[in-house]
Amino acid sequence: MNVFEELTQIQAEFQKDLKLALDLEQLDHLKIKYIGRSGVVTTLLRSISSVKKEDRPKFGSKANQLKSEISGLIAEKIDVFKNDTDLRKAENLDVTLPGRTPVIGSLHPTTQIVQEICDIFVSLGFSVIEGPEIEFDKYNFEMLNIPKGHPARDMWSTMWIENPNHSNTNSTLLRTHTSPMQARFMEATSPPIRIVVPGKCYRYEATDSTHEWHFYQIEGLVVDKGINFANLKGTLYEFAKRIFGNDRKVRFRCDYFPFVEPGVDMSISNFKDSEGKRPIKGRDEDWIEILGAGMVHPEVLKGVGYDPDIYTGFAFGMGPERISMLRDGIDDIRHFYSNDLRFLSQFV
Q: Which residues are catalytic?
A: 156, 177, 203, 217, 260, 315
Backbone angles phi, psi at 7, to 5 degrees: -60, -45
- Does residue number 179 form part of the binding site for ligand PHE (CB under 6 A)? yes
Residues 202-241, interacting with ligand PHE (CB under 6 A): 219
Q: Hey, is 51 helix, strand or coil?
A: coil
Out of 109, 258, 279, 292, which residue is the one contacting ligand PHE (CB under 6 A)?
292
The string of DSSP codes covering 269-332 is E----TTS--SSTT---SEEEEEEEEEEPHHHHHHTT--TTT-EEEEEEE-HHHHHHHHHT---
* For ligand PHE, the closer CB: 7 or 221: 221
Classify burial at 53, counting beta carbons within 10 Å of its beta carbon; exposed 0-12, middle 13-18, buried 19 or more: exposed
Report the C-alpha gap between 259 and 295 in whole angstroms. 8
Stretch of 103-111, 202-210, 269-277, 289-297 lying at the interface with ligand PHE (CB under 6 A):
289-297
Specify the stretch interacting with ligand PHE by CB under 6 A; choose among 73-81, 292-300, 321-329, 338-346: 292-300
Residue with smaller CB distance to ligand PHE, 144 or 330? 144
Nearer to ligand PHE, 255 or 332 (CB): 255
CA 182 to chain centre: 30
Looking at residues 308 to 327 of the shown chain, list those that interact with ligand PHE (rule: CB under 6 A). 315-317
Least distance between ligand PHE and beta carbon 219 (Å)? 6
Site for ligand PHE contains 177 (CB under 6 A): yes
DSSP symbols for 64-103: HHHHHHHHHHHHHHHHHHHHHHHHHHHHH--TTSPPPPPP
Of 127 and 157, CB closest to ligand PHE: 157
Give the residues lining the site for ligand PHE (CB under 6 A). Answer: 177, 179, 219, 257, 260, 292-294, 315-317
